[in-house]
Amino acid sequence: MDDKDFLAERFEENRAHLRAVAYRMLGSLSEAEDAVQEAWIKLSRSNADEVGNLGGWLTTVVGRVCLDMLRSRTHRRESPLESTRVPDPIVGSAEGDPEHESVQADSVGLALLVVLETLPPAERLAFVLHDMFAVPFDDIAPIVGRTPAAARQLASRARRRVRGQTPEPEADRAKQRAVVEAFLSASREGDFEALLRVLDPDVVLRADVGAGKLGVSQVVCGARAVAEQALRFRDFAHAGRLVSVNGGIGIVNVPEGRPLSVAGLTIADGRIIEMDILADPDRLARLDFEFLED
């Protein structure tokens, strides 16, 4: 094995970790893969013999790449509809298909990713690297161009926002499934009162249809408004199938066998408190739905 092959092998040992870092940073599966690939390019062009801790070095490189991508995304953001952007979901079989277990293990709740989307890039990086991957502030500081103390403050501000806005979800998948099935049943039957019983009074629905597509990305708040929305799309409820969305039970709508939308549902105390729906055809086309053929 030559040096390049050995380096590639060591990089592959870190790929899953790097993908997890990039996904939490970017909320985009395709951009996460791009960031990981950029890290490989930088590694292949560097003097790897001088790198003592390859995993740590690669993590900080991916962090830098993701920070640049986030800042570029912020500069491009012109439409107010971007505020309803739903991160890419990690979708798998609701039955725990072993093929998807490794990917699911890298996932985090969609509700948390939605909150991370609202953070300034530097805060997001400091929080993700330190709180999720235990990267020391001494290593984070040069990435964001701050002192270690300032990097600590970035993470602290992000942590307060995350704790204040991220609900504590139901961890029991069987209980999740019962709530989601009740929601689907009520939607299919057009039972408004049953929908109200399964929705939290302060439920929030986010729908992301993509820029320039037919329809309007939106945020809907409150049980009655969300129930009315569900009844408006009652016909699609019959095409709903249970799937795993970022480790929880969600719904994919597949009329005529073609995925039309994916919904991640956050459940607490037996009710749905958050619904994050991706219905952007371009982004849906990049997701893996092969398990639906099973």
How does pLDDT run across 278-291, given as a tens digit for each residue? Answer: 999 999 999 988 88
* Residue 160 neighbours by CB distance under 10 Å: 10
Cα separation of 78 and 290, whole Å?
34
Q: Name the band, by pLDDT with cuts 50, 70 and 90, for residue 169.
A: confident
| Structure-block tokens of residue 290 | 């092969």
Sign of CA pseudo-dihedral 58, 248, 86, 221? negative
Task: Please give the pLDDT value at position 45.
Answer: 83
| Measured CA distances, 198 to 3, 170, 184, 189, 278 (Å) | 58, 14, 10, 14, 21
Task: Please give the pLDDT value at position 120.
Answer: 95
Which amino acid type is present at position 112?
A: L
Cα separation of 288 and 35, whole Å?
19
Task: Please give the pLDDT value at position 77.
Answer: 55
Q: Are 39 and 58 in contact (CB under 8 A)?
A: yes
Cα separation of 274 and 112, whole Å?
11
Cα separation of 141 and 148, whole Å?
5
Task: Please give the pLDDT value at position 216.
Answer: 59
| Structure-block tokens of residue 73 | 């995304």
Q: Which of 231, 229, 251, 228 is nearest to 240 (CA)?
A: 251
| Structure-block tokens of residue 288 | 């893996």
Cα separation of 96 and 247, whole Å?
9
Q: How many CA atoms lie within 13 A of 197 on its CB side?
A: 13
Paired strand residues for 267: 272
Cα separation of 287 and 244, whole Å?
13
DSSP SS3 for 249:
strand
* Low-confidence winner among 152-156, 163-167, 172-176 (lowest mean pLDDT): 163-167
Digit-coded pLDDT (tens) for 69-118: 999 987 665 444 345 789 999 998 887 554 444 445 456 888 899 999 99
Q: Are 56 and 139 in contact (CB under 8 A)?
A: yes
Long-range contacts, 192-197 (Cβ 8 Å, 24+) = 192/227, 192/228, 192/231, 195/223, 195/226, 195/227, 195/230, 195/231, 196/223, 196/224, 196/227
Residue 146 has pLDDT above 60, yes or no: yes
Digit-coded pLDDT (tens) for 191-248: 999 999 999 999 999 999 887 655 557 899 999 999 999 999 888 889 999 999 998 9
Q: Are 291 and 241 in contact (CB under 8 A)?
A: no
Higher pLDDT, 52 or 130: 130
Task: Please give the pLDDT value at position 48.
Answer: 67
Task: Please give the pLDDT value at position 80.
Answer: 40
